[in-house]
Amino acid sequence: MTEGHSLLASEKELSDFLKNVEKRAFKRALYAVRDDEAALDIVQDAMIRLAEKYVDRPVAELPLIFQRILSNATMDWFRRQKVRGAIMKNFSDFESAGEDGDFDILETLEAQDGSTASESAAEQVSRAQILLAIEGQIEQLPGRQREAFLLRYWEELDVAETAAAMGCSEGSVKTHCSRAVHALAKALKAKGIEL
Amino acid sequence: MRNQNIIISPGGLEAIQARFGLRVAAHLSESTRELPHDVSERLKASRELALERARLARRAVAATSTQTQSNGGTATMIFGGGSGSDWWFKLASIVPIAALVAGFFFIEHAHTREQIAAAAEIDAALLADDVPPAAYSDPGFVEFLKTPRD
């Protein structure tokens, strides 16, 4: 116990951790629920759960715990939606969003910021289109595949940690990741995008 | 990947998958840098709210810990402290229970003795007293007289 206390997350460490993870967490939630406000609520809920219930845990444990909490918070959101009978609306949103990668040019331009000012307009549009295409394909992955893929390659958890975060076997994680990679590669290639 | 005849080992396939996955992840990371201002602000507010909750949780844990230590300190003061305080604490818990059990035995013993003394007093009074004539008309007493004695 004494050894554990010296490793407990300080307020600054917790703050740095949340700061580091919050944007990716928002995006992960957004890929799942496809609603900005809902994704923000989910991330806030996950942050508060972590802060209230796991404040006495070592800082090294926070990433895995947070990913698990975020997944659970997302599932809770879907359950609530199901109870409200809004799940069908979400599916119809899913279908319309997946229609063959037609990009809204206004949305594309809106997503740019000043840091890319040195790029030509064509390069900026092209880059933004690639990003949108990738995000679109990520959204279209089945939930478990998307979760496994993002935890493994974006959050950089290893197979065992991903399995722990998802509550499944390591074999399942490998299968989900493999399928996700194949589906993404195929879809992006079909759009003429080479990574 | 392009040539279908190339055989890739499972390890090599995993490496290719990982490389592709990390490239996709790099693009996703790029997209997070371009979040709208209001989303970034909302995330910041959420983070601050979570940190405030963490502060409250820490205070609650610290208060509980202090109270536990305080209770421990009181017990130490009562039982003399030091490494033997646990022993004293156990002894102090056992003594009242032992006293209670001893008390029950004493009460039970005293009550039995009292009953015996009362019965003996009644017997002595009966034996010393004359039998009233009316007693001989009682069938139970007659039966008692007829009963052979050892």
Q: Are B97 and B148 part of one and the same domain?
A: yes
A38, part of any domain: yes
B116, part of any domain: yes
B-contacting residues of A 30-59, CB under 8 Å?
36, 40, 43-44, 47-48, 50-53, 55-56
A20, part of any domain: yes
B62, part of any domain: yes
Q: Which residues contact A143 (CB under 8 A, 6 or more apart)?
A: A32
A147, part of any domain: no
Report the domain count for chain A: 1
Q: Are B29 and B57 part of one and the same domain?
A: no
Domain that holds residue A9: 1-97
B84, part of any domain: no
Among A22-36, A90-104, A151-165, the least confident range: A90-104
Task: Give the count of beta carbons closer than 10 Å to the beta carbon of residue A46.
Answer: 29
| Tens of pLDDT, residues A2-19 | 344 446 778 888 999 999
Q: Are B47 and B13 part of one and the same domain?
A: no
Query: Average pLDDT in the A160-184 region?
Result: 93
Contact at CB, B46 and A14, closer than 8 angstroms: no
Contact at CB, B50 and A185, closer than 8 angstroms: no
Q: Which residues of B touch A112 (CB under 8 A)?
A: 34
A30, part of any domain: yes
A39, part of any domain: yes
Query: Average pLDDT in the B82-91 region?
Result: 72
A54, part of any domain: yes
B147, part of any domain: yes
Report the domain count for chain B: 3
pTM: 0.61
- Say yes or no: B24 contacts chain A, CB-CB below 8 A: yes
B87, part of any domain: no
C-alpha–C-alpha distance, residues A140 and A191, integer Å: 14
Query: Chain-centre distance of CA B130, in angstroms?
Result: 67
- Say yes or no: B2 contacts chain A, CB-CB below 8 A: no
Domain that holds residue B13: 1-34
A168, part of any domain: no
Mutate to test the interface with A, among B24, B34, B55, B61 (most CBs of A within 10 A): B24
Of A188-192, B46-50, B72-76, where does the model show the most confidence?
B46-50
ipTM of the complex: 0.72
A109, part of any domain: no
| Tens of pLDDT, residues A104-157 | 433 433 444 444 445 567 776 777 888 888 999 999 999 999 999 999 999 999
